[in-house]
Amino acid sequence: MKLNDKGLLVVLSGPSGVGKGTVRSALFKMEGHDLVYSVSMTTRGPRVGEIHGKEYYFVTREEFERNIRDGKMLEYAEFVGNYYGTPLAGVQEHLAAGREVVLEIEVQGAEQVRAKMPDAVLIFIAPPSLDALYKRLLIRGTESEEHIRQRIEKAKREINMAYEYDYIVVNDTVENAADKVLAIIRSEHATVKRTLKNYKKMLGVE
Ligand code: 5GP
């Protein structure tokens, strides 16, 4: 019995370094779901091991700005000197086919999704502490001291933005956080606002 015919758009967001990417990959390794990851476009250069089309579509600023002008981005933001954004076409296609699409994006982008697609489920991934966030950024070793400082300052401001979200998941352990995200997705499927219309149609009581 399928009560939702349209897919669910799930947004994982929160401060940089909070472990959104790790939570997302743990989520995708879990069994029993059929989630699709929306690969973002960015102007930042690839880190070691990152592959075009897998982690990101790596493009020039010129190309990114052309996509913005042509209305091809669902959302985008400039983050620490680079553009990041979600190509609209893929998301629309998957949702129309009834698939669950997961975005992993920073908070300005999440705000834009909220405005453009009010049906999306917004999940704020929060750090267990600022100290934990600092350590994670330091261990990652890909950022300069100045960049880390900027990211921490940004994270402090961003925590207040959780008020705009539907759920908050503290990333205490990656497994816990991924588990919670999956539980949220499952519960969202059973919400009255997403199912009642189709259910009534099925019962013939409209
Ligand atoms: P990183 O450079 O560490 O891969 O990503 C920097 C930040 O950009 C992270 O917070 C990441 O979640 C965010 N990000 C990645 N893709 C997108 C996107 O498509 N849109 C927005 N708004 N942010 C993104």
Domains of the chain: residue spans and CATH? 8-38+99-203 (3.40.50.300)
Beta bridge partners of 37: 102
Ligand 1: residue of 18, 25, 41, 42 to mutate (most ligand atoms within 8 A of CB) is 42
The model's confidence at residue 54, banded by pLDDT at 50, 70 and 90, is very high
Residue 16 is predicted with a pLDDT of 77
Lowest pLDDT segment from 94-98, 131-135, 184-188 = 131-135
Q: Is the pLDDT of residue 45 over 60?
A: yes
DSSP bridge pairs for 73: 87
CA distance 35 to 108: 23
What amino acid occupies position 162? A
In whole angstroms, what is the distance from residue 25 CA to residue 38 CA?
Answer: 12
Cβ < 6 Å from ligand 1: which residues?
Answer: 16, 20, 40, 44, 75-77, 79, 84-86, 104-106, 108-109
pLDDT beyond 60 at 1: no
Using the predicted structure, report yes or no on whether residue 142 has a pLDDT greater than 80. Answer: no
Q: Output the pTM of the full model.
A: 0.90
Q: How far apart are the C-alpha atoms of 73 and 163, rounded to whole Å?
A: 25
pLDDT of 35 strictly over 90: yes
Q: What is the mean pLDDT of residues 12-17?
A: 88
Ligand 1 centre to CA of 104 (Å) is 7
CA 139 to chain centre: 23
pLDDT digits (tens, 9 = 90+) for 152-188: 888 888 888 888 999 999 999 999 999 999 999 999 9
| Arithmetic mean of pLDDT over the chain | 91
Q: What would the pLDDT profile of 56-93 be if each residue is shown by its tens digit?
A: 999 999 999 999 999 999 999 999 899 999 999 999 99
pLDDT more than 70, % of the chain: 98
Contact yes or no for 73/87 (Cβ under 8 A): yes
- Centroid of ligand 1 to alpha carbon of 98 (angstroms): 25
DSSP β-bridge partners for residue 87:
73
